[in-house]
Amino acid sequence: MYLDLVKIFVPTAVAFFLGLFLTPIATHFFYKYKMWKRYGRSATVTATDFSKIHNEADELKTPRVGGIIIWVSVLFTVLVFYLASILFPSANSSEMNFLSRNQTLIPVFTLLIGSLVGLWDDLIQIYGTGKFARDHKSWRIWKVSIITLMSAGIGAWFFYKLGMDAIHIPFGGEIYLGFLIIPAFIIVALATFSGGVIDGIDGLSGGVLASIFAAYSAIAYANNQIDIAAFSGVITGAILAFLWFNIPPARFYMGETGVMGLTITLATLAFLTDSVLILPVIAFPLVATSGSVILQLLSKKFRGGKRLFRLAPIHHHFEALGWSRYKITMRFWILSVVFAIIGIILTIVSR
């Protein structure tokens, strides 16, 4: 047990301090090459409430690729412990290596590919022109298609390589899905990605996602999936390093390179830890955020254009009501910790 905890917490600390070290270098690069959005959202959003709370000057002068710090820190940490086990072979170095085929190979691959696709999206909005650079609806359809293809590949790996064909039902055994595990993963991945709209206020997404990944580290530990626990802890450490510089006023935003990689990786971890049906509890702030957007759209469509919220996502609704950004962020952080703890308890007692 002692060595397992060391295997989790030491890489987590390494990822955190590595992120702190890399940030000044990355920040210089971000600002030197003006890696912020070319076009603001005010041109595509007509709500009067939005114009009152939105500071377009900040959006167009703050880099949007801060997620690079997260996934680079994670991948470097994974590489350091993997190379240490090869270059300095010993029982200790081998034990500390948490890159394994059956537990963490797919999450690492998912984080890398998702982050690179997200970076491509960010670069289009930074240096591109035309409707894609303005995040036009047609470009969003392309993104959804790309995520669907990625998710189909990961789901196929689950089914054909890992033999995963069922999901755990809390307090109720398992439900056999067979090859339907592939479309199930696609749905969960798209759902978690939709929660990425939480990246709308300084510090909000970082604090929420750190709690969620910390919860999955605890769940994996309880499942005796120590490599996954270590990997989830490393992501948590890297996010906390990002958050150190993302609290108001943000030095950079997470951007799609952070949101896409992290949310799809989250879906992967939920399946690997057999806790996918508890994911909505653990990630309740993401569910509430994406759900508020869906409810707003449905309200406009079926209630003659009437809005359910002043603004959506819901954190902007609270802004429109007069809440300060600090208050919204802190309360979302509190809720994320509370629901993460509830999710951990439900996962453990429902086995």
pLDDT in tens, 245-256: 998 888 999 999
Helix, strand counts (H, E) of the chain = 15, 2
pLDDT of residue 176 exceeding 80, the answer is yes
166 forms bridges with which residues in the sheet?
Answer: 176
Q: Which residues, 6 or more positions from 29, have their beta carbon under 8 angstroms from its beta carbon?
A: 35
Which of 104, 196, 100 shows the shortest CA–CA distance to 147?
196
pLDDT of residue 211 exceeding 60, the answer is yes
Angle at 234 between CA 231 and CA 235, to 5 degrees: 90
pLDDT of residue 47 exceeding 90, the answer is no
Q: Confirm if 264 and 42 have CB atoms less than 8 A apart.
A: no
pLDDT of residue 53 exceeding 90, the answer is no
Question: Which token pair is 234?
Answer: 């490393």
pLDDT of residue 139: 74
pLDDT of residue 254: 94
pLDDT of residue 48: 60
The number of CA neighbours under 13 Å toward the Cβ of 99 is 17
Each domain of the chain, given as residue ranges in start order, spans 2-280
pLDDT of residue 147 exceeding 70, the answer is yes
> Tens digit of pLDDT for each residue in 301-338?
888 888 999 998 999 999 999 999 999 999 999 999 99
pLDDT of residue 55: 58
- For 153, list phi and psi in degrees, rounded to 5: -65, -40
pLDDT of residue 56 exceeding 70, the answer is no
Q: Confirm if 16 and 235 have CB atoms less than 8 A apart.
A: no
pLDDT of residue 44 exceeding 90, the answer is no
pLDDT of residue 346 exceeding 80, the answer is yes
Q: Which amino acid, residue 10? A: V
Question: Which token pair is 333?
Answer: 């952080």
Q: How far apart, in whole angstroms, are the C-alpha atoms of residue 16 and residue 167?
A: 33
pLDDT of residue 231 exceeding 60, the answer is yes
Q: How far apart, in whole angstroms, are the C-alpha atoms of residue 288 and residue 171?
A: 24
| Mean pLDDT of the 5-10 span | 96
Share of the chain above pLDDT 90, in %: 74
Q: How far apart, in whole angstroms, are the C-alpha atoms of residue 69 and residue 100?
A: 23
> Tens digit of pLDDT for each residue in 177-204?
999 999 999 999 999 999 888 988 999 9
Indicate the average pLDDT of the chain. 91
The number of CA neighbours under 13 Å toward the Cβ of 116 is 7
pLDDT of residue 228 exceeding 90, the answer is yes
pLDDT of residue 196: 87
pLDDT of residue 13 exceeding 90, the answer is yes
| Mean pLDDT of the 161-183 span | 91
Share of the chain above pLDDT 70, in %: 93
Q: Confirm if 207 and 336 have CB atoms less than 8 A apart.
A: yes
